[in-house]
Structure 1
């Protein structure tokens, strides 16, 4: 049985997407390096009073503070925001907040886009070019989400000291919240879909033309009964 181009594409996407996500997670460390590098430049150059250091890799702790590992896909931040870490009712213990950001939660657009491109009937050069372009665009969108979460972590999540630090830096609190929601909820879904549509308009047009020119299934036409009352 011959499958239509749309069904072939959907079947190929079902096969390619799990493989793309597997390699994305397997290569998580190298794939987040450009994202962390871009976020580091933005954070340290734009808000030096808030951020003092950014590095790739962070300790993964359990509920008791024991180190479980040191994943290379995490981003460690050192900030200039001083907070009281002591529980209520105990003597004050001040320290600088050092949050950890996971860039991977903003990066699933990359395997999603790669899976769609691999499922599209293209030449090897076209696939390579589209995936390379997608990496650049998606890394920029991913870095936006990482920067927004970093501002949220050292500002909104740090309580009053963090809020005051954002205000001293001239950063509106609503802008941080909006940027975080936009980078977390919208960009990872919107960017791969728009990229794939823009890069593959000829294929989409072909699917539309085929659907419009396919003959409708023949069916009987009911005729009114002859004769009158």
Structure 2
């Protein structure tokens, strides 16, 4: 029976860890992602003071009261100030991905690297959450620049930031972070295994 290569073992182990850790993370995500909501709260107050009145962060939710006035259909077309909300964990699922790669590599210093990785993931997750909330405001205002009191380039920056934060960062950042924190394993196992897989096999002995 052919023996599995270290690269294959790593891939299978990482997949298994992702399944297990994602299930565990879903039970505690409201608490592990709470700092994401706090960072997003700070970013909104500093970056969009003309829109934000107050933001309330609780485990599993961030609610933002805005100064943006939009039509309220349930009130006969009268206008009301917009409130948006989101779950910070929605963009924090990179944590189990990062931990799965870390555990699959089985390197030294798992504890401190796990904690460091969790902390380093927070800014990117907060960016994604912030862009999601801003995009909700933009969509509710029907991208009306005059109503939102912003310029065209600011509107486009929010749209592109939302796409980056929702489609790219949640999965790319944990992988890049792991590649940086576990670079010796990457060099010794992954890169070497990839090179070996490209090398031509030796001809059979006659």
| TM more than 0.5 | yes
State the partner residue of 2:92: 107
Give the whole-Å Cα distance in 2 for the aligned partners of 1:99 and 1:169: 22
For residues 207-222 of structure 1, the aligned pairs below 5 Å read 207=189, 208-209=191-192, 212=196, 216-219=201-204
Alignment match, 1:201: 183
- Is contact 2:145-2:152 (8 Å) kept? no
Query: Partners of 1:130 and 1:93 in 2: how far apart?
Result: 53
In the superposition, relative to structure 1, how do residues 212 and 167 fare at CA in structure 2: closer, same or farther (>3 Å)?
Answer: same
* Structure 2 match to 1:85: 72
SS at 2:65 equivalent: strand
Q: What is the CA distance between 1:165 and its match in structure 2? A: 4.4
Superposed CA RMSD: 2.6
Offset of 1:169 from its aligned partner? 8.0
Secondary structure of the residue that 2:76 maps to in structure 1? coil
Rg larger in structure: 1
Whether 1:138 aligns to 2:121 is yes
**1:73 alignment partner in structure 2:** 60
Give the TM-score normalised by structure 1.
0.77
Q: What corresponds to 2:102 in structure 1?
A: 117
**Paired position in structure 2 for 1:18:** 19
Name the TM-score, length of structure 2 as normaliser: 0.85
Q: Deviations over 1:188-217 (max 9, x none)?
A: 121111111112221122223355499935
Structural mapping, 1:42-191, within 5 Å: 42-57=43-58, 72-86=59-73, 91-123=76-108, 126-159=109-142, 163-168=145-150, 172-191=154-173
Seen in structure 2, the aligned counterparts of structure 1 residues 215 and 154 have a Cα distance that, compared at 3 Å, is closer
1:148·1:179 contact (CA, 8 Å) conserved in 2? yes
The answer to whether the 8 Å contact 1:83/1:158 transfers is yes
For 2:98 and 2:173, locate their aligned partners in 1 and report how far apart those are by CA, in whole Å: 9
Which gives a bigger RCO, structure 1 or 2 (Cα 8 Å, sep 6+)? 2
| Stretch of structure 1 that moved more, 31-40 or 211-220 | 211-220
Higher helix residue share: 2
